[in-house]
Chains A and B, each alone.
Chain A
Amino acid sequence: MASMYSMPSTTPGYSFPSTHPMTASGPRQHAGFYPYTDNGGSTLGISGKDFTIMAGDTRSTSGYNINTRYEPKLFKIGGDGPKNEGATIVLSVVGFAADGHALKERLDTVAKMYKYQHGKPISVAACAQRLSHILYDKRFFPFYVHAILGGLDENGVGALYSYDPVGSYEREQCRAAGAASSLIMPFLDNQVNFKNQYIPGSGEGHALQQRMPEPLPRHEVEEIVQDAFTSAVERHIEVGDGLQMFVITSNGIEEIYKDLKKD
C-alpha cells in the first residue's frame, strides 16, 4: 500500500509500456511528460453521534516549494449555485491537487444531477458508492488522491467514508490521509477509538476489559483535530499555514478556519 502513495521514480504510472521507446535515437524533442505531482498536505475526518468533522491544512507544495498558503482541500458536494449552499456532504481530497479538483467537479455534478432528476438531495451512502465508481472508472490512469467523504446518514448519525486512489472504500469512525497520515492515524486510534486503553482494575491479564469506543462530543473532537494538526505541523514540512474545518450537522455545514505555523 505504501508504494501506491510514493511517486514512481522515472516513468509515469502507466500499466502498459510507455508510448515512446525509451531507447530512441537522435536528439530528444522534449522531456518526458509526467502526469502526476504530489502537492502534499494532510486531511482527516472524524464522525460523531450527530455530526461529522472534516479537516485539512491549506498548504500546497511541490517538492520543497510552497505554491500557496491557502488552497482548500475540502469541498462541499451538491447544494445550490456556485457556492454549494445547503450542501450536506463534504469531500476532502489530498495527493495530486489537479486530480482532486477534477474528482470534486465530477462528484458535484453527479450530486446536482441526482437532485435535478429525483427532486431530493443524494444520501451520503449513495454518494459514497458513486464516488467509488468514479474512482474505479479510471482504474488504469487513476486520480492520484486519497479521498474522504463526510456527511450524515439516513438516521442523522455522522457518516465517514475513506477511499484508496482506485475506489476501494470503507465506512469508518475516523481517518487521516495524506503526507502526515502516518503521524496522525495512530494518535487518532488512541484518542478516538481508545486503542490500547483498558479499564483499570477490571481484570488480570487477558481478562482485562478494553475501553470501548463511544461517540465523542463535538468540542472534544474539535480539540483532537487541532492537536493532530499542530503535532503534524511540528514534524512534517508539507503540512502547515492554515487549518480548515467543516462541521456537518443537521443545521448545515459550519466552516472554521484557524492559522497554523507558516514555517
Chain B
Amino acid sequence: MSSPFSINGGACVAMVGKDCVAIACDLRLGLQALTVSNNFPKIFNYGDVYLGLTGLATDVSTVAETMRYKVNMYRLREERQISPQTMANLVSSSLYERRFGPWFVSPVIAGINHTTGKPFICGFDSIGCIDFAKDFIVSGTASDQLFGTCEGLWEPDLGPEDLFETVSQALLNAVDRDALSGWGAHVYIIEKDKVTKRLLKGRQD
C-alpha cells in the first residue's frame, strides 16, 4: 500500500481501432483511502500525441511539465510537430536518465502518425522500457482489472464510435472494481483529422 505507485491511485488505457486510437483515464486523486480530488485528469496533449500518466501524482505533474518543455524545444528546433514514435523514444530516454531514482509513473502514449497515417500506441515501465502493443495498453492501480476487461471486450478494426464504447466500458467497469480509481473519466477518440474528447460521469464512490 505504501508503494509510490499506489498512494494516489488512478488508471489509464489506450486502444487501437481502424484508422483511429483511443486513450482514456479516470479523474481520481487520493491519499491512500482518502479522496482528495475528483478532477485530476491524467492525459496530456502534445500536438499530435497524447500522453497518459499514472502513478505518484507529484511525478505525474512533473513528468507532464518536463515533457511539455522538451516537446516545445523539439518543435522550435525542428519546426514541426513531434510524431508519436519520436515522442515514445523521448519519453523512454527521459525515464532511463533517472534509472537509479526513477519517476514513479507508468506512461501510455496514443496518437496517429501524420506522415504514415497509421495509429500508434505504446506503454512504458517507470524506467523507460517500451511496450509496443498492437491492441491495447493499460496502466495504473486498476491495471489487473483493465487487462481483464480489455482482453474480453476489445476486437480488431473497431470504428471510432465502437472504439469509444469499448474503451469506455473497459475503463468504467475496471475502475469500479478498484477502490483507488474512478470518480469519472476522460476519453479521447483520435482520428486522422479529428479529436473527440468526452467526459464520463461514472460512479461517484
Contacts and interface: CB of A to CB of B under 8 A. Distances in A.
A189 B170 CA distance: 11
Contacts of A180: 148
A62 interface: no
Contact of B174 (A186, A228, A232, A234): A186
Interface string A182-194: 1111110111000
B115 to A, nearest CB: 32
A99 B19 CA distance: 52
Given A185-B177, A186-B177, A196 B151 contact: no
Contacts of A189: 173, 176-177
A190 B169 contact: yes
Given A189-B176, A189-B177, A231-B152, A183 B169 contact: no
Given A227-B152, A228-B152, A183 B173 contact: no
B152 A182 contact: no
B145 A182 contact: yes
Nearest to A1: B179
Nearest to B200: A196
A196 B148 contact: no
A83 interface: no
A235 B147 contact: yes
User: Interface extent on A, as a size class?
Assistant: 10 to 19
A198 B84 CA distance: 35
A49 interface: no
A226 to B, nearest CB: 11
A187 B144 contact: no
B81 interface: no
Interface string B134-157: 000000000011011101110000
B172 interface: yes
Contacts of A228: 152
A187 B148 contact: yes
Nearest to B202: A196
Contacts of B153: 187, 190
Contacts of B176: 186, 189, 195-196
A234 B151 contact: yes
A137 B144 CA distance: 33
B147 A187 contact: no
Interface string A155-193: 000000000000000000000000010111111011100
Nearest to B148: A183
Contacts of B145: 182-183, 185-186
Interface of A: 180, 182-187, 189-191, 195-197, 227-228, 231-232, 234-235
6 contacts: A182-B144, A187-B153, A195-B176, A196-B172, A228-B152, A232-B151
The 10 residue pairs across chains A and B that have the minimum distance between CB atoms: A183-B148, A231-B151, A182-B144, A187-B152, A196-B172, A190-B173, A186-B173, A186-B177, A235-B147, A231-B152
